[in-house]
Structure 1
Amino acid sequence: MSTYKLVCPHCQNRMRIRTSEGQHIFLRITYMQCTNEACGWAVRAEFQMTHELSPSGMPNPAVRLPVADVVLRRQAMKSADDQPDLLDQLDMECAQ
């Protein structure tokens, strides 16, 4: 499993999240700062869940996101190109 590293666009050093607050089940506002003291750039960012890439094994009826199209799902699977796409298989089964 990989972790996402946020990089300062000014000095290319790592950013850290100073604080965050939930606005909605799918939206989190964060306040971030560059870890390079000489740079010190600070920013407000929004992290939003926009599309479902695969269904949950424990679905919550309150969670409703649009299902990502095949292009988005393939982008998410860049490192696993040989792995079949579950939603493509479900689409084909439903069509039969």
Structure 2
Amino acid sequence: MSTYKLVCPHCHSRMRIRTSEGTHIFLRVAYLQCTNEACGWSVRAEFEMTHEMSPSGMANPTVKLPIANVAQRRAAMLSPTDHPDLLDQLEMERAI
């Protein structure tokens, strides 16, 4: 299984999610830390759902996001898809 990689912009080591919290249905705040002890950089990050790429098969009428334009959908189709869902990864990192 592949993992979603967050990379430290200073030393290029892997970042780990120390903790995270949902602040809104479309927003999750995470606290990250570089795994390189010599670097030790830590940061607060926000992961936001911004556009609907395709409709849900079980649509909730209270969930309303703008629909992605054609260019955004095409770019998503060209992106690698071998990493797990980001929110699943946040939960897995929190459990460790």
Give the TM-score category using the shorter length: 0.7 to 0.9
Q: Taking structure 1 as the reference length, what is the TM-score of the superposition?
A: 0.78
Aligned to 2:13: 13
Higher Rg = 1
Matched length: 80
Residues 79 and 46 of structure 1: CA distance in aligned 2, closer, same or farther (over 3 Å): closer
Q: Which has the higher mean CA deviation after the structures are superposed, 57-66 or 71-80? A: 71-80
Q: Taking structure 2 as the reference length, what is the TM-score of the superposition?
A: 0.78
Q: Please list every run of at least 4 consecutive aligned residues from structure 1 whose deviation after the TM superposition is greater than 4 angstroms.
A: none
Residues 68 and 61 of structure 1: CA distance in aligned 2, closer, same or farther (over 3 Å): same
* Unaligned segments of structure 2, at least 5 residues: 81-96
Map Cα deviations across residues 39-94 of structure 1 (whole Å, 9 max, x no partner). 100000000000000001111111100000000001100058xxxxxxxxxxxxxx
Instruction: Give the Cα–Cα distance (whole angstroms) in 1 for the partners of residues 6 and 65 of structure 2.
Output: 25
* Unaligned segments of structure 1, at least 5 residues: 81-96
